[in-house]
Copies of this chain bind each other. A is one copy, B any other.
């Protein structure tokens, strides 16, 4: 480290977006990276994760987490290299996941960081298939969808970071797995590379009919990432004792007013369970998932795909992209080089 101050660049919320987030809703702030105080660690960001939940943080209302306010650095999980440490467990050169911020450098209490190996999976995987999205899929599938051999499971946003893992887990459980994705290219990849049994394009003229054709025995479990017309079409096909893991409803995240939903009368007659969950409520599940899935990533049996934007300045565009369904796989921003 030189005696000159290291400059930190941060993406700061300028004003709350109206509809889809735009580049102009954010601005870049520059300052000197501060020294860590006792217990803190300074990381140089390598990868920044872009996830749909971030749109919720831009709303004024508090949900399960504090909103990001104008003037605040935008929040987001990163993988970074430790460049300075005031915490006994971390030394420069360590690689850690868990620092939060759309920033070139993050200052974080050490106990919030998890060290990861520089020599195992690609570092970006700790933000996707081996990270929060993977653990989200794991919880939704194993705790709520609970697919049985021969059952039909539908996964929306099937080519995304969460959906792609959820569907592969349901396949491992022996279910017939049908994806829903946007456009022919994604659907092809979901079938050919992820090995789902079928994939329906949600832009189809008659989504309900196409979904019914792909699910001749009805739907026993649904992993919900999108809401809207896809949700309505799936609900119409649910079987008795169907399970719905409510992970997200990205189709409406840019909306000021949420549209009405399906009439819930069917929930009684079909004894359906609709259950929402937030991955961070059970943080211990992340380590459990990493341990379980790391060998599958290593041997290539758990397939994932990344959609990389280069440079911190691209983060707002990446967020707008994922909210518009324009990502193809796990959305990432490359902020800095891999450790040498």
- Give chain A's interface residues, CB within 8 Å of chain B: 56, 63-64, 227, 231, 240, 246-249, 252, 258-278, 281
A270: nearest chain-B partner, CB-CB: B276
Task: Check B252 against A263 for contact (C-beta < 8 Å).
Answer: yes
Hey, which chain B residues are within 8 Å of A266, CB to CB? 276
Task: Check A278 against B274 for contact (C-beta < 8 Å).
Answer: no
Hey, which chain B residues are within 8 Å of A258, CB to CB? 263, 265
Task: Check B267 against A246 for contact (C-beta < 8 Å).
Answer: yes
- Checking B260, B264, B272, B278 against A268 with a beta-carbon cut-off of 8 angstroms, the contacting residue is B278
Distance, CA A30 to CA B268, complexed state (A): 36
Task: Check A267 against B271 for contact (C-beta < 8 Å).
Answer: no
Hey, which chain B residues are within 8 Å of A263, CB to CB? 227, 252, 258-261
A117 to chain B, nearest CB (A): 32
Distance, CA A270 to CA B64, complexed state (A): 7
- Checking B231, B272, B278 against A264 with a beta-carbon cut-off of 8 angstroms, the contacting residue is B231
Task: Check A276 against B271 for contact (C-beta < 8 Å).
Answer: yes
Task: Check B277 against A63 for contact (C-beta < 8 Å).
Answer: no
A273: nearest chain-B partner, CB-CB: B275
A239 to chain B, nearest CB (A): 12
